[in-house]
Chains A and B, each alone.
Chain A
Amino acid sequence: MISQLLDRLNKYIDPFLMGCIAFSCIVGLFVLYSASGGSVDRVLSQVFNICVALIMMWLAANISPHYLERIALPLFVLGLLLLIGVALLGDVSHGARRWLNLGVGRIQPSELMKIAVPMMLAWYFSKREQSLRWIDYAVATLLLALPVGLIMKQPDLGTALIVTAAGFYVLFLAGLSWKILVGGGLSIAVMTPIFWSMLHNYQRKRIEILFDPFQDPLGAGYHTIQASIALGSGGFAGKGWLDGTQSQLDFLPERTTDFIFAVFGEEFGFLGNVLLLILFMLLIGRGLVISSKAQNTFTRLLAGSITLTFFTYVFVNMGMVSGVLPVVGVPLPFLSYGGTSLVTILLGFGILMSIHNHKTLMSTS
């Protein structure tokens, strides 16, 4: 009876992904405990976040991809309307307008778009797959530009980046011509100096600081410098859990959220970083396998985009903390404190599981 129930519950859960996710979450809780200076409250609150996110993942895994395909367009339109709502009457917090108060609670529609945009574009390409022409890529680009523009205006550079990436991956996987890809890359390279010459001095300075934190060590560069010191002093094997001097003293800012990787790197060292990279690569690899085995265009593109977007989170966050990328507010999956992005990420993994495990059903029907 109980085993039957467990089977029912586990029917659509991918054991490999689930194992990796569970392990990542546990590692995340340990790091959070250290980063928050031993705050049990913080850890419990994150446990709650993880539970909510896991339930969302389970629900997503149990929904058939057919259904996802059906709601792709309405979901996208809803997300767009909510984003417009945010722009018109959203709540301002920390100088940005990101939240929409619905009376019952606040939501962050830009987060929804991280899923809705790839769904929409995957749906669009799956509809047009018989007669794909360049115009379809143009339409898709426009569909992508609309929400990204609205998110940039909030302003939320980190989310805009993730949504752009999610959309771009669908375009890329759907076969956007190499000519356009290479040409686009080249024209950006050509436009950069022109764009640069049009900027005001203070705008240039801001961008320069993004790439060279030592220009403003007390302001914008402070985070990066402190994170580098934390990581570097971790050495090969790290200083040990709870023993990171940079993290435990108050040198490291935002050390439970966007910069938590610095705490991890200080306490677990190069070795820990390599193992964490491997763990993330396992998740990404599994996602790509699911994508390549998917049976129709919609599920294939969606699975590919979700997986590559997850990779983007990891790369942008680790790159920013270790100082190879400028500072943009992108959290590290499973480690950064916070519920919203965790829900989005696990929702993505739920969809991956659904795509993988509803396959047989699809081919028989």
Chain B
Amino acid sequence: MRTRFEVKNHSLEQFQYGLRLNVAIGLILICFAVLLGRFFYLQIFKYDYFQTLAENNRVSLVPIVPNRGLILDRNGVTLAHNFFVYTLEITPSKAGNVEETFARISQFIEVSAEDRKRFKKLRAQSHSFESVPIRTNLNEVEAAKFAANRYQFRGVEIRSRLFRHYPLGNLGVHMIGYIGRINEADVKVLEKTEDLSNYKGSDHIGKGGIEQYYERQLHGTTGFQQVEIDADGQAVRVLSSKPAIPGDNLVLSIDAKMQDIAEKAFENHRGAMVVINPKNGEILSYVSMPTFDPNLFVDGIDADTWKALNQSLDKPLINRPIRGIYPPGSTFKPFVAMAGLQEGKGLPPFSIGDPGFYTLGGSAHQYRDWKPGGHGQVDIQKAITVSCDTFFYGLALDLGIDKLTSFVSNFGFGKKTGVDLLGEIGGLLPTPDWKMRRWKQKWYPGETVIVGIGQGYTLVTPMQLAQATAVLANNGVAMKPHLVTSVQKHNGAETHMTAIIKSHEMLLDPNNIELVKAGMVGVTQPGGTAGSIGAGSSYNIAAKTGTAQVVGIKQGAKYNAGSIDERHRDHALFIAYAPAEDPKIAVAVIVENGGHGGSTAGPIARKVMDYYLLGKVPSVPLKDPSKTPDTPLVGDAPHD
């Protein structure tokens, strides 16, 4: 009985299965019929069409590389532009024996050892059907000579390529950045952002500064042409085309002339300077010294030059304003003073009698003032003016580290300023929590004491210091710092202004602002730490000097600039804003190993402020942008 039932069930199941199989077979036949139909459509019905495209005249999709957008300063001076050069290029897959062709070419046209090296490198990086430059910057004679003998060289052709050129050379290189050849890492990034197809035909990409941050806007949209090419790979006819959309032009808030004055003012010193308009956050100058020539990178930098730049003790490649971190030293004091006053500490008539050192209860360790013997009776305003360490040791301890750091962080310390450049470092505002996390150690009161004068773990970037000065000058209203003020569409029809953004506003007591500012104005007057900076000035300057130790000095020993190696000397710092009554410009300067802030960093700031506020130009000759032609001729070297 049971077996019979199972057998019956079995056959029913098999019947159902057969039905399903038949359905599947039907679907398979439909699918194959679709394929067959498609093959028929492509290979029989549209054969002539595809035949034309493919057989005798093959279709090639040629990308049209968009013109990269220009970078201009606030007055329209060109900082980066493009020009055409003739290049001699070879497509290995078409040329057959590349080495032999290469050897024959060098009999016609001079090919240097460097060209050879670059060719080898580029060839290894590219596909055999991509054309690789043998020589760039062909002059007219060379171009004509080759054209006359072109028939001898299969797969070799003269092309005109767009080159990026920075007419002012070194000027503001860390801010403007440069473009370089697209490498594998760039390709990965482009793949991730799904921009890779827009870079078909592009060889270069922004590698730093504005060129990198605004790559998307500057690059533009690649167009393409469908062209018929003959058996030799020569374009015969354009079938269809979609033009490229050029990149946008960027207008910076930088003033090229002021930038030049600023860079020259550094003379041979290393360092950084950031100048901000406190009212709207526009960056007026952005200096990182020493500089280098961005034009070196455009065409592929050679190994020796790269090595020299990369290994130089002066570290020219470091973008100091956003990536250099320094102890703020005494330039930190106005911000600590503001923290104290807002918390009700150190309010006049409170004052101290300064013996020239500070001690913590129960310890013999002396925290010394920079002035042996002290400054006498000191209140908070005088403490800023004469940079009294003893006063700020006590104030910091009175405030406590947590209140101190959380308040000064409102000025932008310890976090990125958000300027439109990549790679910014946030600096460091130390707290007991941070120390526990980082070093697994507890916080000592002595560490609070030295934070009061900007020493210890505290680290700032020049960018942060400038921004903090601007916020202070603007009475606690923080404007977002930025370099690009407007983006012009390629046809000039549309211009997008960068929004001026108020990042945040601190609620500060006007009396407290008045006290701190009065202390800073005193700095540039007789008796202040930078009295010489204010001398002969027709406007009032509020400032603060600072010195940051590079090498620790033993207790009881004395710092003697002359006796130590130049690279171990203190860093000189200087912050300022002017005119003191209605600030239009805020400056932060750091001169590495420059010694005292007032004497090396201060004069640099003064020169820039004189130019900006009075139009005063120093007697040093400036860079002349008119030196380079606006419409470069063929064969013009892309060098300054």
Contacts and interface: CB of A to CB of B under 8 A. Distances in A.
B242 to A, nearest CB: 9
Contact of A324 (B35, B43, B60, B226): B35
A245 B35 contact: no
Given A236-B43, A300-B17, A251 B24 contact: no
B222 A218 contact: yes
Contacts of B409: none
B497 interface: no
Contact of B47 (A236, A300, A308, A323): A236
Interface in B30-47: 31-32, 34-36, 38-40, 42-44, 46-47
B21 A233 contact: no
Given A250-B127, A277-B36, A281-B32, A218 B54 contact: no
A265 B38 CA distance: 12
A232 B46 contact: yes
B194 A235 contact: no
Pick the 7 closest A-B CB pairs, nearest first.
A219-B197, A232-B50, A233-B54, A250-B129, A270-B43, A232-B42, A233-B50
A284 B29 CA distance: 11
19 contacts: A173-B21, A222-B61, A228-B42, A228-B50, A229-B53, A230-B54, A231-B39, A232-B42, A232-B43, A233-B47, A235-B47, A246-B58, A249-B93, A250-B128, A250-B129, A291-B21, A315-B31, A315-B35, A319-B38
A171 B47 CA distance: 42
Nearest to B49: A232
A233 B17 contact: no
B13 to A, nearest CB: 7
Nearest to B35: A318
The residue in A217, A218, A220 that gathers the most chain B C-beta atoms within 10 A of its C-beta is A218
Contact of A322 (B38, B60, B61, B129): B38
Nearest to A225: B61
A49 B480 CA distance: 61
Given A95-B191, A202-B194, A292-B17, A235 B36 contact: no
The residue in B42, B46, B198 that gathers the most chain A C-beta atoms within 10 A of its C-beta is B42
B509 interface: no
B32 A231 contact: no
Contact of A172 (B24, B46, B128): B24
Interface of B: 13, 16-18, 20-21, 24-25, 28, 31-32, 34-36, 38-40, 42-44, 46-47, 49-51, 53-55, 58-61, 63, 93, 127-129, 191, 194, 196-198, 200, 222, 224, 226
Given A277-B32, A322-B42, 15 more contacts: A173-B17, A228-B50, A232-B47, A232-B49, A233-B47, A233-B55, A236-B43, A246-B58, A250-B127, A265-B39, A273-B39, A274-B36, A281-B28, A284-B28, A292-B18
Contacts of B32: 277, 281, 315
Interface in A106-156: 129
Contact of A217 (B34, B55, B61, B93): B61
A175 interface: yes
A288 interface: yes
Contacts of B194: 202, 206
A233 B53 contact: yes
Given A95-B191, A217-B224, A218-B61, A245 B43 contact: no
A297 interface: yes
Contacts of B42: 228, 231-232, 322-323
Given A229-B53, A250-B127, A270 B40 contact: yes
Nearest to A266: B54
A160 B392 CA distance: 67
Nearest to A227: B42
Contacts of B46: 232
Given A235-B44, A292-B21, A319 B35 contact: yes
A323 B38 contact: yes
A304 interface: yes
Interface residues of A, number: 52
Contacts of A28: none
Contacts of A265: 39, 43
A288 B21 contact: yes
B221 to A, nearest CB: 11
Contacts of B61: 217-218, 222, 225
Interface string A303-339: 0100010010001001100111000000000000000
A234 interface: yes
A95 B127 CA distance: 20
B43 A304 contact: no
Nearest to A288: B21
Contacts of A273: 36, 39, 43
Nearest to B47: A235
A274 B59 CA distance: 27
A216 interface: yes
Contacts of A308: 24, 28
Interface in A59-116: 95
Contacts of B39: 231, 265, 270, 273-274, 322
A95 to B, nearest CB: 7
Contact of A229 (B59, B129, B200): B59
A348 interface: no
Nearest to B127: A250
Nearest to A216: B197
A350 interface: no
Contacts of A167: none
Interface string A18-55: 00000000000000000000000000000000000000
Interface string A229-263: 11111111001000001100111000000000000
A323 B35 CA distance: 10
A304 B58 contact: no
Nearest to A235: B47
Nearest to A238: B43
B447 to A, nearest CB: 42
A235 B43 contact: yes
A157 to B, nearest CB: 16
A172 B20 contact: yes
Given A322-B35, A322-B42, A297 B13 contact: yes
